[in-house]
Amino acid sequence: MTAKYAQVVLGLPLDRAFTYSIPQDFKAGVRIGQRVHVPFGRDVKIGYIVSFLNKTEVKKIKPLKSIVDEEPLLDRDMLKLTRKVADYYCASWGEVIEAAHPANVRRRTRPLPQTPQAPSISQGLLEEKLALSPRQKAVLELITKSIRKRKHEVFLLHGITASGKTEVYLQAMACALSEGLSSIVLVPEIALTPQTVERFERRFGDRVALMHSRLKARERAYQWQRAKTGQAQIVIGARSAVFAPLANLGLIVVDEEHETTYKQKDTSPHYHAREVASLRAKLAGATVILGSATPSLESFYNAEKGRIELISLPERVTKQDLPEVSIIDMRREITMRKRRANIFSRALEVKLREVLNRDEQAILFLNRRGFSTYISCPKCGYVARCRRCEVSLTYHYASKRLICHYCNYSIEPPQICPQCDASYLSYFGLGTEKVESELHRLFPRARIARMDRDATSKRDAHTKILNDFKNGKTDILIGTQMVAKGLDFPRVSLVGVISADTALNLPDFRSGERTFNLLTQVAGRSGRGEVQGKVIIQTYAPENFAITASTRHDYHQFYRKEIKSRKILRLPPFTHLVNLSLRGHNQKKVQEAADELSSELKEKRTNKGIQILGPAPEAVSRIRGSFRWSVLLKGSKQDELVKLLKQMRCGSGRYKGLRLNVDVDPI
């Protein structure tokens, strides 16, 4: 290596590389993809070498301080991929590189620990493949053909719940292995899908590496290392596992591809693992399977346009048909029962009793945790709110406190209204805790468990709850969306949706889609074994078509209607959106900056097809004391939006004391 200078990117929101000179004495060791210590301002930071230069215009160049590891952390493919992701999401390259590596791998400046001897599972103990149904076979054949050709292809596998999709993934992965190729399986939330993970481990033993955020830092680094060294050829994990350091990639499976957990929402880079999977597979010549019972509108539209290939499994492989679904109009229940705040309709109560009598199991779903969702003064209208966020506080019975679901701020509930001093406060709204307590009152002998973020805050708590349910130690499991996904319990014959309206009422154009997905998924938990399943959906909007379509399990009907309205309203997948969010503690400054940003965008816009909406305060206009205003860009071509943004130099500390957050394809 004779280069004089190295270009280094840093894990900061600055989308540019910095130039450093390479000291004479370690030229031999310097390679692309290596981590290096570099002086930056008054600090020393870890950076990543992305290229070399022989000359530069830059003045006052400092030398690299030291090389962190001899073996580059990133190979050329990973550099290419992270660069592409940064381009697509208008993010900094360094930040994408950091998102692609577990913190413990990135920060460790000593070599990674030697891989301990993994317990070796002999091939003979591994579970055999199932004999496929003719439909599964047909679908698998298309996929394996593509894997063997090593030609990049994306399949959308639309299969109803329990149609045998997972078995198809397993056999596709076996095919990849036999070709000497590795696979990645992405699942929406790994800690919530222990059953799926177990199936992969039973089939592939110690060739599997697990990657997810609930692992201890050391364990994560260890699993990463096993993938990097080729000891594991299969990686299963949540969103960030799409960057797993596997060589010879042949297949990426994105299970439940419609799930929003694939999008990194809170921190930059705001990538979507489905998008990254396609970018990565394209570079690697690998096959992608996007699997879902309720594909995202984006993916189904892509399939319709012929950009990806649609394959489907329209029938269950198990004995039972899809469960029968009834809608209960809760408006009528109220007048019938003359009781406020009734949680269980008569129909649901009757069915629950039957389930208990027959010694079967039920799952109840409500997408809101806590006891009462707000407390308020009936006299003056005071509502208890968070001091730092623009939201009301939720009452939690277990801790007897009012808690903010955005920042965890909590207070003891006041007895008397602090505003008018004249009245006691009333408790309104319904959360999982209250459902649980009402259940105990209604069915004192039933064994009841609750699964939500409060009940699973301790490590492994969710595993225990699910194991108890599996082993028949629990009769009724009540939970948030944690119980909606992927669970496969054959004795569950009833699913009750306490309120279908929580997702519908969100101020979001995807609320119908989300409601349809959630109801279909949760309904799919019922009737997976010997007994026919039953689903009861309680709602105040019984004519809403996301709800009625889900009772018929009719994805196609839902899609037709939804895609039409997206087209009329010029929303994704017909357009791309970019959300620019300005945040800061001074409301006036935030607002002024948002105005200025919007005006400048309008000035710089040459393409009249690009719409600039706002600025406007966000739905939750203050979080942790920080005000939020946003400007929304809308345009038919994603790259044109990004081009406009690049001219704006959005990343680099454009506004003093404020943060500008750029989210491409926001969710």
Shortest distance (Å) from residue 404 CB to Zn ion: 3
Q: How far apart (Å, rounded) are the C-alpha atoms in residues 531 and 323?
A: 10
Q: Is 447 in the site for Zn ion (CB under 5 A)?
A: no
Given ligand ADP, Zn ion, none, residue 409, with its beta carbon under 5 to 8 Å by kind, binds: Zn ion
Q: Does 407 bind Zn ion (CB under 5 A)?
A: yes
Q: Which two three-digit tokens encode residue 244?
A: 């797993």
Identity of the residue, 452 or 488, whose beta carbon is nearer to ligand ADP in the bound complex: 488
Indicate which of Zn ion, ligand ADP, none lies near residue 388 (CB less than 5 to 8 Å, by partner kind).
Zn ion
Residue 90 φ/ψ, nearest 5 degrees: 55, 40
Which contiguous run of DSSP H or E holds residue 226?
helix 217-228
State the binding partner of 389 from ligand ADP, Zn ion, none, CB within 5 to 8 A by kind.
Answer: Zn ion
Q: Is 404 in the site for Zn ion (CB under 5 A)?
A: yes
**Least distance in Å: CB of 411 to Zn ion?**
11
Instruction: Report the partner that residue 164 touches, choosing among ligand ADP, Zn ion, none (CB closer than 5 to 8 A by kind).
Output: ligand ADP
Query: Considering beta carbons, is residue 202 or 388 the nearer one to Zn ion?
Result: 388
Sign of CA pseudo-dihedral 323, 327, 330, 332: negative
- Which of ligand ADP, Zn ion, none does 318 bind, CB closer than 5 to 8 A by kind? ligand ADP
10, 97 contact by CB (below 8 A): no
The burial of 307, by beta-carbon neighbours within 10 Å (0-12 exposed, 13-18 middle, 19 or more buried), is given as: exposed
Any idea what the Cα angle at residue 11 is, between residues 7 and 12, rounded to 5°?
Answer: 100
Query: Is there binding between residue 650 and Zn ion (CB under 5 A)?
Result: no
Contacts of 343 (CB under 8 A, 6+ apart): 430, 434, 435, 438, 498
Q: How many residues bind Zn ion (CB under 5 A)?
A: 7
Say how far apart CA 270 and CA 89 lie, in whole Å.
7
Please choose which of ligand ADP, Zn ion, none residue 404 contacts, taking the beta carbon within 5 to 8 angstroms, the exact cut-off set by kind: Zn ion
CA pair distance 83, 276, nearest whole angstrom:
11
- Alpha-carbon separation of residue 312 from 163, 293, 300, 317, 516 (angstroms): 9, 9, 12, 13, 19
- Are 48 and 78 within 8 A, CB to CB? no
Interface with ligand ADP (CB under 6 A) = 130-133, 136, 159, 161-167, 317-318, 488
Instruction: Return the number of the residue (92 or 521) whose C-beta is nearest ligand ADP.
Output: 521
Taking the complex as a whole, the smallest distance from the CB of residue 453 to Zn ion amounts, in Å, to 15
Are 249 and 211 contacting, i.e. CB atoms less than 8 angstroms apart?
A: no
Q: Establish if 403 lies at the interface with Zn ion (CB under 5 A).
A: no
Strand partners, 661: 581
CB 327 within 8 A of CB 547: yes
Residue 165, binding choice from ligand ADP, Zn ion, none, Cβ under 5 to 8 Å by partner class: ligand ADP
- Based on CB atoms, which residue is closest to ligand ADP, 311 or 435? 311
Contact between 406 and Zn ion per CB under 5 A: yes
397 binds, among ligand ADP, Zn ion, none (CB under 5 to 8 A by kind): none
Residue placing its CB nearer to ligand ADP in the complex, 97 or 168: 168
615 preceded by a cis bond (ω within 30 of 0): yes
Closer to Zn ion by Cβ: residue 52 or 409? 409
Smallest separation, CB 386 to Zn ion (Å):
3
Complex with Zn ion: residue 58 or 619, whichever CB lies closer: 619
- Nearer Cβ to ligand ADP, position 269 or 486? 486
Residue 388 touches Zn ion, criterion: CB under 5 A: yes
Contacts of 662 (CB under 8 A, 6+ apart): 89, 90, 91, 268, 270, 578, 579, 580, 645, 650, 651
- E strands of 391-465, at which residues? 394-396, 401-403, 410-411, 426-428, 448-451
End-to-end CA distance of the chain: 45
**Whose Cβ is closer to ligand ADP: residue 167's or residue 201's?**
167
The secondary structure of 296-343 as a DSSP string is: -HHHHHHHHTTSSEEEEE-S-SSSSPPPEEEEEEHHHHHHHHT-TT--
Cβ distance to ligand ADP smaller for residue 251 or 417: 251
CB under 5 to 8 A by kind: which of ligand ADP, Zn ion, none does 166 bind?
A: ligand ADP
Say whether residue 386 binds Zn ion (CB under 5 A). Answer: yes
CA 460 from centre of chain = 20
Q: How far is the CB of 454 from Zn ion (least distance, A)?
A: 16
Shortest distance in whole angstroms from residue 573 CB to ligand ADP: 24
The least distance separating ligand ADP from the CB of residue 133, rounded to whole angstroms, comes to 5
Q: Which does 336 bind (CB under 5 to 8 A by kind): ligand ADP, Zn ion, none?
A: none
Contact residues toward Zn ion (CB under 5 A) are: 386, 388-389, 404, 406-407, 409
